[in-house]
Amino acid sequence: MIYDVLILGAGPAGLSAAIYAGRNKQSVLLIEQGQDGGQISVTDAIENYPGQMLEGENGFTLSQRMAEQAKRFGAQRVSDTIREAKLDGEVKELVGASGTYRGRTLIIAAGASHRSLGIPSEAALAGHGISYCATCDAGFFRGRDVYVAGGGDSAVQEALFLTRFARKVTLIHRRDALRAVPALQEKAFANEKLHFLWNSVVTDAGGDGKLQWLTIRNTKSGETTKIEAKPEDGFFGLFVFLGVVPATDLFKGKLDLEDGYIVTDENMHTHIPGVFAAGDIRKKKLRQVVTAAADGGIAAMEAYEYIRG
């Protein structure tokens, strides 16, 4: 089958595109390899998305509601990992591990994934003390010490969330000023359980099957310090929020990329007719749910116009 609209990625951009394309009565196939919602599926409160003040709502429940809305408008779904993208023909083709998908238009909304610390033991300790998801793993560190690497919105927001579980949360940031927005900074500095290690980066981590020590290098003095878990605790947690890396490997050499992000015009067109990009994967300034949702809506309307000729 050749769909009117193929959408790669079921985060806020892809789900919004599916809602709009579905309302346009187009056939839509939404392809996602993981969990709906992308980055927001592991985010606690989403304070700045309009209307987002429902009791008990978090990023996961919000993305579930978006997915339900897309389903209601007829979007079909497939779970697959795309290995190759063929963009040049009139029919766009995505080749996945389990199948090949064809569309008259393609909206790329594959988003971005977390940046790693880049230390040797990171992979071995992931899930054993090193985590990239506070809402998933905070409970394992109840009453213990927790460290958070990063200084942006994610690091500060998730550090605040972690204070509800941990005895003490220490944010490790490479500079002496946070990147996070002022509203989050205000909350962070007012929180007695949240502490700061400025001008510092994590250089190594280790332990016996769980995270028991970290080394931190001071970016100003070059001095290295070892932090060890309290003997009575046995281990501690390190949550990594160092920003994101766009998921554009598939499109290298095929689409215009800048700093790894897909370049589009303001209406989400890439340089290839019928191929659009929306959300965090796109070169733009403000990467938030509200801009991802807007991108998705615009991309779907442009795809509709493209098909109508």
Buried b (16+ CB within 10 A) or exposed e, 48-68: ebeeeeeeeebbbebbeebbe
User: Residue 187, interface with ligand NAP (CB under 6 A)?
Assistant: no
Residue selected from 30, 110, 242, 281 as contacting ligand NAP according to rule CB under 6 A: 242
Asked whether position 206 contacts ligand NAP by CB under 6 A, the answer is: no
To ligand NAP, the closest distance from the beta carbon of 159 in angstroms equals: 11
Residue 151 touching ligand NAP (CB under 6 A)? yes
Active site residue 137: yes
Bridging pattern class, strands 244-246 and 237-240 = unpaired
Question: Does residue 157 touch ligand NAP according to CB under 6 A?
Answer: yes
Whole-angstrom distance, CA of residue 207 vs CA of residue 197 = 21
Q: Which is nearer to ligand NAP, 155 or 169 (CB)?
A: 155
Site for ligand NAP in 35-94 (CB under 6 A): 47-48
Q: Which is nearer to ligand NAP, 86 or 179 (CB)?
A: 179
Q: Closest CB to ligand NAP among 91 and 245?
A: 245
> Which of 11, 37, 129, 150 forms a contact with ligand NAP (CB under 6 A)?
150
Q: Which of 154, 248, 270, 291 binds ligand NAP (CB under 6 A)?
A: 154
3-state secondary structure of 19: helix
CA torsion, points 248, 252, 255, 259, in degrees to nearest 10? 60
Give the separation between CA 98 and CA 80, rounded to whole angstroms.
6
Q: Is 204 a catalytic residue?
A: no
CA-based Rg of the chain, rounded to a whole angstrom? 21
Indicate which residues carry an active-site annotation: 133, 136-137
